[in-house]
Amino acid sequence: MSQLPEILREQAESQRGMITRRQALNAGLTRSAIGARIGTGRWQRIYPGVLATFSGEAGREALLWAAVLRAGPGAALSHETAAELHGLARKPAQLIHLTVPADRRVEPVPGLAIHRSARIAQARHPCQEPPRTRIEETVLDLADTARTFDDALSWACAACGGRLTTPQRIAAAMNRRAKLRYRNALRLALDDITAGAHTILEHRYLHDVERPHGLPRAERQVRVVRGGRSQYRDALYRKYLVVVETDGRVAHPAEGRWRDVHRDNAAAAVGITTLRYSWSDVTTRPCAVAAEVGAALAQRGWPGPLRPCGPGCTLPCS
């Protein structure tokens, strides 16, 4: 790389070794010089018009740069790929997602998913590289393409629960969009996230168990310090010393189980009753969960009453 023209060397370094053929030509390399480097294996083609200035396997960030360069000026990594870069997605998606200006067309390339937007210039983060959409815009892009509202809401919960953004910033980004799937439901859900419902299961508990059955309003994400370490309670009915914890994990590792047991034991030692519910509990038997929580609260002095959530409610008869 030291033999390259200075401007091209700087571009290659900032782009994790990736350049476009146009950048190489503009820097003064001839077509034959470019071809010679490719022919000897010193360089390699990644996409049409996009070259790696090294031999060997390209790393993840280099491949993301190559995708951005292939998509052309104004492009930004978006959707699942932007979520990956923001730390919102746990693992890379199968496709690399990019958004380009609405008036441009990019020929289909295997491995790339191209989206178009008239407002990509505003949605693109001003300084992060490789170029990507802002975290709020990423959340809304994912919500807009989600199969269900629960899937859409889970992105907002994860972003806010992970302290990557705030409900207020997501709401502001929503206001800048003319069209958005699940707009009204998301707006209401952002209020719940502001109140402390940081996971989709906590939101489900609030909307399917607590509110429709007339349970008192719990405090959410309450910070408790034990042994010098901070812990957070999903839902605390402080007046009645009852805690409800929701766990959406399909598998609960032994280490996590014992951590929960220790936390519950510490709470019991100071007179707090802890009730734990899984995704299946909250989503398939919300009325039974409400009855159990109501009974625990009643033992601690809650006057009630529980109320049926609708004609098909399965609350036991009083």
Question: Are 116 and 167 contained in the same domain?
Answer: no
Residue 263: what pLDDT?
66
Q: Across residues 164-185, what is the average pLDDT?
A: 95
Phi-psi domain of 14 (left: phi exceeds 0; alpha: psi -120 through 50; beta: other): alpha
Question: Are 205 and 292 contained in the same domain?
Answer: yes
Residue 312 lies in a domain: no
CA distance 194 to 60: 35
Question: Are 185 and 206 contained in the same domain?
Answer: no
Phi-psi domain of 197 (left: phi exceeds 0; alpha: psi -120 through 50; beta: other): beta
Q: Which of 83, 56, 226, 86 is nearest to 143 (CA)?
A: 83
Report helix angle 135-144 to 79-86, nearest 10. Answer: 140
19 has a pLDDT exceeding 50 = yes
Question: Are 227 and 280 contained in the same domain?
Answer: yes
Last residue of a domain, one of 133, 160, 177: 133
Question: Are 234 and 281 contained in the same domain?
Answer: yes
150 has a pLDDT exceeding 80 = yes
Question: Are 50 and 88 contained in the same domain?
Answer: no
CA distance 108 to 7: 30
51 has a pLDDT exceeding 90 = yes
Q: Which of 219, 281, 217 is nearest to 246 (CA)?
A: 281
- Residue 130: how many other CB atoms lie within 10 Å: 24
pLDDT tens digit sequence for 212-261: 999 999 999 888 766 667 778 889 999 999 999 988 554 444 445 546 66
Question: Which tokens is 213 given?
Answer: 């059955």
Q: What is the pLDDT confidence band of residue 272, given thresholds at 50, 70 and 90?
A: confident
Question: Are 274 and 208 contained in the same domain?
Answer: yes
Residue 114 lies in a domain: yes
Question: Are 29 and 101 contained in the same domain?
Answer: no
Residue 246 lies in a domain: yes
For β-strands 112-117 and 273-278, DSSP reports them as: unpaired
pLDDT tens digit sequence for 287-298: 999 999 999 999
Residue 169 lies in a domain: yes
Residue 245 lies in a domain: yes
CA-based end-to-end distance of the chain: 80
CA distance 7 to 23: 9
Give how far the C-alpha of residue 215 lies from the chain's centroid of Cα atoms, to the nearest Å. 30
Residue 314 lies in a domain: no
Average pLDDT of the chain to the nearest whole number = 90
Question: Are 272 and 212 contained in the same domain?
Answer: yes
Q: Which of 284, 282, 281, 292 is nearest to 315 (CA)?
A: 292
Query: Which residues are CB-contacts of 177 (< 8 A; sequence separation ≥ 6)?
Result: 119, 140
Last residue of a domain, one of 20, 35, 58: 58
Count of domains for the chain: 4
Range of the domain at 93: 64-133
Q: What is the DSSP string of 248-289?
A: --SS--HHHHHHHHHHHHHHHHTT-EEEEEEHHHHHH-HHHH
Residue 309 lies in a domain: no
Q: Which three-class secondary structure state does DSSP give residue 310?
A: coil
**Using CA atoms in the order 257, 259, 263, 264, what is the torsion angle rounded to 10 degrees?**
20
CA distance 167 to 242: 27
